[in-house]
Amino acid sequence: MTTIGRWPRAIFYDSKTTLFDWAWSWREAAQALAAKYRAADADAFFEDWVAMFEGLQRRAAFNRYKDLTHHIRDGLAYAYRLHGMHGDAAKDVQVYLDLQSRVEPFPEVANALREQQALGVKVLIVSDVETRYIEGYVSRLAGFKPDFVGSSEQARIHKPNPRIYHWVLRRTGLEARDVLYCASPQFDIQGALACGIKTAWLRRAHGRLGRKNATFEPGDVPADYEIEGLDQLTAICRANLTC
């Protein structure tokens, strides 16, 4: 792959399951609710909650904006019905929300982001979670301050709708050719590719929200890079910036 000029000028990151172990809060909440309502199969309940949520979120990305908590709550209600659990999703979603103040970055993240900024690369972090949650996650990146933090709540559209990627470019004064997009969820990668942004798919061994994040689906466009850690992304940046 050849690149003209200084590239990338910025790395545009997804937050959930890419930089932060968001899946931890889901598993903790699912285990607590499965125990409370005596679910026959706690793992299946977790996977079905995730699947219902992801379906709702993808559909909402091309419709009127609703915050992520809305889709998490509705996904929980569907999972309750599927598993014959008599919970109140409107109240029980608070179990998940109470855990958001404890979501931590993956161990290598803060150091990798500092190294990328040291190369002269801007770091952009944009999330589908509400603004207050992403700002809380970012505050736990020790010794690091990103160049831009944004949310779907601010843009009023969810990923993978291409509109949110264009919104970030407008807000930061960048063009698609300037940016490398990095995410763990494949559907995020597809939205960036649709905007002409080069992509890096982060294949984390730990921290995936559900089983579906393990591979690309048939018909997906492959990412430009596949990586297993952010140190590899730093190396990609260094190689391009010094060639």
pLDDT single digits (tens) 182-213: 999 888 999 999 999 999 999 988 888 876 54
Tokens representing 19? 């930089």
For the domain 10-21+104-242, what is the CATH code?
3.40.50.1000
Q: What is the pTM of this model?
A: 0.92
Mean pLDDT of 123-134: 97
Burial 69-95 (b: 16+ CB within 10 A, else e): bebbbbbbbbbbeebebebebeebbeb
Residue type for position 117: Q
Using alpha carbons, select from 192, 191, 200, 190 the residue that is nearest to residue 224.
Answer: 200
Per residue in 15-26, pLDDT tens? 999 999 999 999
Mean pLDDT of 213-228: 78
Number of alpha carbons in the 13 Å side-chain half-sphere of residue 103: 29
Tokens representing 11? 């790395």
Within 8 A by CB and 6+ apart from 205, the residues are 228
Mean pLDDT of 71-83: 97
For the domain 23-102, what is the CATH code?
1.10.150.240
Grade residue 6 by pLDDT with cuts at 50, 70 and 90. Answer: confident
**Taking the domains of the chain in order of start, what are their residue ranges?**
10-21+104-242, 23-102
